Amino acid sequence: MSTTLREALRTARRTPLLSSLSVASIGFSLFTVGLFVLVAINFQHALRTLAERVEVVAFVLRGTPAEAITAASQDIAAFPEVLEVRFVSEEEALDRARRELTEFQEAYRDLETNPLPASLEIRLKEDLRNEQVAAVVAERLRGFAFVDDVRYGREWVRRLDRLRNLAGALGLVIGLAFAVVAVVIIGVTIRITVLQRAKEIAIMRLVGATNGYIRRPFVLEGVMMGILGGALAAAMCWGVFAAFRGSMGEVRGTLVFFGTTEIALIILFGTSIGYFGSLVSVGRHLRHV
C-alpha cells in the first residue's frame, strides 16, 4: 500500500499541470451538478414553504354551541391527515380582516354587526398537502352538521401539485443529464492521464508487473483526484451561494445550502467517479496493449 501511495503521489508531483487540470475538470463537472442540485433544493424548499399555506377551512354556522365545536375539533384533529386544528372565532376573523385587508379597513370599521363567520382552520401533515388529500378532508368536514361551507383553494392547490410534479421530474432528468456529462468529462480526463503514461505502463509490463500492480497507483490517484475535485466543487458551490445570497436582500434568509450529508455525498460522488473512471480507463488500456 505504501508503495502504491508513493507511486500515486510521485506521478501526481511529476505531472502537476495534468493532475491539477484533472482535479479542476472533476471539480468543475461536479460543481455544475452541485449547482443544479442546489437550485433544485432551494426550489423544493420554496415549494414546501408555499405548501405550508395549504389548509382546509370549514366555516361554522352562526349560533353553533362552543361545546359542539370543541368536540368536533378534537374529532377532526384525530383525522390521520390532520396536523392541527385551529378555531377562529367571528371576532378574531373580523380583527384579521381589518388587519390584513387594509383596502377595506374603513368598511369593516363602520360595521354594526360582524358579517364574518367563525371557522376551523385545518393544517394538513407535511407530506399530505396536496389536492387529493385536501378534497377528502373537505368532504369529511361537510358531514358535520354545523359546517356551512368548506374551502381549500382547489385551483391553487392543484397548480401547486402540478408545479411540484413538474419540478421533481425536470430536476431528475436534468440532474441525471448533468451527472452523465460530468461522468463522461471526468472519464475522458482520466483516460488522458492514462494515455500520457502509456510508456510507463509498457515498461512496467516488460519487467513483469501484474495488471493489479499497474492499476493500483492509477486508481489511488483517481480516488485522490476525486476527493479533491469533490471538495473543490463543494467550495465553489458555497462561493456562488454566498455571493448570490449576499445580493438577494430580504429573502436571503429563505435560501438554503447543502448540509453536511450533501457535501459528503458530493465528495463521495467525486471519489466514486475517480475510482471507477481510473479502474475502467486503466483496465481498457491494459486490455489493448
Residues that bind other proteins (CB under 8 A): 3, 10, 14, 199-200, 202-211, 213
User: Coil, helix or strand for 7?
Assistant: helix
* Between 200 and 262, CB nearer to other proteins: 200
* Between 109 and 287, CB nearer to other proteins: 287
d(CA 278, CA 267): 16
> Chain-centre distance of CA 228, in angstroms?
23
Among residues 285, 240, 267, 283, which one has the least CA distance to residue 23?
267
User: Coil, helix or strand for 271?
Assistant: helix
Distance of closest approach, residue 11 Cβ to other proteins, in angstroms: 9
* Between 173 and 195, CB nearer to other proteins: 195
39 φ/ψ angles, rounded to the nearest 5 degrees = -60, -45
Distance of closest approach, residue 203 Cβ to other proteins, in angstroms: 5
The cell for 49 is 414553504
- Radius of gyration of the CA atoms of the chain, in A: 30
* Between 158 and 205, CB nearer to other proteins: 205
Distance of closest approach, residue 199 Cβ to other proteins, in angstroms: 7
129 contacts 54 by C-beta, under 8 angstroms: yes
* Between 101 and 203, CB nearer to other proteins: 203
